[in-house]
Amino acid sequence: MDAPSTSLPHARGVDVLADGWRLIQSSQLVTRPAGDEYVNGVLEFEWLSERIVRATGRRAG
């Protein structure tokens, strides 16, 4: 079995959208101590990509 590819098929999120995928942002919830509500920090994002395709073949039923 081949190892999974480490190269990404798309360079940017916009390219994913243009290729017919949905791009879903799922950011972590970061708790900040009291008094730090307005302190800027590193943005931590996670992205999921999802593509819905029409199944071909016979319909059930």
Q: Report the predicted TM-score, pTM, of the whole model to 2 decimal places.
A: 0.45
Secondary structure of residue 17 in the 3-state scheme: helix
Torsion angle of alpha carbons 6, 10, 13, 18, nearest 10°?
-150
Per-residue model confidence (pLDDT) at position 56: 83
Per-residue model confidence (pLDDT) at position 41: 67
Does residue 10 contact residue 16 with C-beta atoms inside 8 Å?
Answer: yes
With pLDDT > 70 as the criterion, what percentage of the chain qualifies? Answer: 77
Q: What is the pLDDT of residues 23-47, one digit of tens each?
A: 888 777 777 788 887 877 666 667 7
Per-residue model confidence (pLDDT) at position 61: 60
Mean of the pLDDT values across residues 44-51? Answer: 78
